[in-house]
Amino acid sequence: MLNNKRLIIMFKGKSNSTSKRSVCIIGAGAAGICALRHFTDHVDHFNPIVCYEQIDNVGGTWNYTEQTGIDKYGLPIHSSMYRDLQSVFDTLLINPLLINSFYFYSTNLPMQVMAYPDFSWEHTQSFVHHSLVLKYLEDYAKHFNILPYISFSTRLEKLQRYNNQWKVVIKRLEDSQFETHYYDIVIIGTGRHSFPHYPPLESISKFNGNIIHSHDYRHRESFHGKRIAVIGGGPSGFDLVIELSTVASFIIFVNRGPNQFENLPINIEQLQGEIVDEFDENLIRIQMKQSGELKQFLIDCIIFATGYQFDFNCYEDIGLHLNTDDTIDGLYRHMINIQQPTMLMLGVCQRGVLPFPLYHQQILCFLKLMIGEIPMPSIEEMEQDVKEYDQLRKSLDIRDVDRHSLKPGIFHHYIDSLECFGQLKPLSKGVLKLHLDLNQIRIKNLIGYKKMTFKVTDDDYQLVSENEDGDLM
């Protein structure tokens, strides 16, 4: 009987020009459930609407697991979440340097700017533990009644363009059964935190110490007294060096970017340089960016906080090209497949973005295009838009490899143009202003910024408190 029901769903997916269009959403993380929330508001235009999720809960990477490597089904662990400390007081006892910092595992963006525009954050505390973000996403899914549309423990095996539809092959993980379905519209919301990126370093095999990626970091216990090199100055990198400073002997923090953090704990040495492909048993070499000086250090372990890469293994003839530098050719405004514009790809924009509000605006824009409330640009118009963005990017000295990295200034330009194109209600000026200022706040006070509490209004924001006390403690 269950198989018959699935065949009915498959048949419904084959719509014609006069029927409602079928929608497939891959992934029930923050992007996927946002897509579900908005498309299920328009069942007069779309049916069926189905979401496939590999794990057994919504929230994607916000689902913490102690596991690393592969799961019980032999698949890569998706989550890159770190475990919470037992308590903030435990941290303070181990490292008195953090006595006024309130630096525990929490978001590195305040929830007042992370939240979806149509589902407000109800607490006063700004920087919260990841379990509260997961609860927020679960509450969002329940509030908008989208759980019935999600098929959990279901993996995408193949996505292919076939006879003017999207051919979707899935695997039911609990019974290893494969199914094929056809849809008119497909939305990719799988994120990119399952496949770590390692820089190509041939001589690293000579290193005798421990080597991991931040994706597989869970807790600090095994790093007591160690000499550690953390490679990468992004959010994972600066979170890890502060956390590990509570237990490590010393830390080499290789941060090649222009933003060098101030007032770090005394056992962290920040280096604006590049790792050199000349490893020995316990030796790492760093070439300084400004002087060219070569420095070397004896260390016990290396943690690469060097980002992630896209996984296109399930895609076949979809009209997009994944480059060797992990950028994608063929996307209009970093989201719509130019050759096959019934595909939306979320989570492409990296660094400096506001993920949940960004998904909200991208999805609303795509929804209007699919309904016909705004006209779909021609292929030529979309390709010209990409060229104009590339010209803007190059005028700002942004490398080709960083074309999807929307630093705050570029991000705000992107959001403005998206809202204008989609005729959308703009994001709050207060949200955008705090987002823009937060980078400098973090640079000046990396240890202490997470104890700050902000109040955001439609037009501005204010710092309410720098105390440790909060309503979620």
Question: Distance between CA atoms of 437 and 408, rounded to whole angstroms?
Answer: 9
Write the DSSP assignment of 52-77 as a string of letters. E-SSSSSSGGGS--S--SB-TTS-B-
Strand partners, 462: 455
The pLDDT score that the predictor gives to residue 69 is 77
CATH code that applies to domain 202-304:
3.50.50.60
- One digit per residue, pLDDT tens: the chain, 473 residues? 233 333 323 333 444 445 899 999 999 999 999 999 999 999 999 999 999 999 999 999 898 887 787 888 888 777 777 764 323 333 333 444 443 334 445 788 999 999 999 999 988 889 988 889 999 999 999 999 999 999 999 999 999 999 999 999 999 999 999 999 999 999 999 977 778 899 999 999 999 999 999 999 988 888 999 999 999 998 889 989 999 999 999 999 999 988 899 999 999 999 999 999 999 989 999 999 999 999 999 999 999 999 888 989 999 999 999 999 899 999 999 999 999 999 999 999 987 789 999 999 999 999 999 999 999 999 999 999 999 999 988 888 888 888 998 876 788 889 999 999 999 999 999 999 999 999 899 989 988 888 899 999 999 999 998 754 444 43
Alpha-helical segments (H) within 184-280: 235-244
pTM, to two decimals:
0.88
The pLDDT score that the predictor gives to residue 219 is 86
Following CA atoms 31, 36, 41, 47 in sequence, which dihedral angle do they give, to the nearest 10 degrees? 140
Tokens standing for 220?
A: 């600090």
Bridging pattern class, strands 21-26 and 46-52: parallel
Cα-based distances in Å from 128 to 197, 292, 442: 27, 40, 16
The total number of residues shown for the chain amounts to 473
Cα-based distances in Å from 10 to 6, 7, 50, 261, 370: 6, 5, 11, 54, 21
Domain residue spans in the chain?
202-304
The pLDDT score that the predictor gives to residue 85 is 35
Cα-based distances in Å from 68 to 81, 132, 219: 10, 22, 12
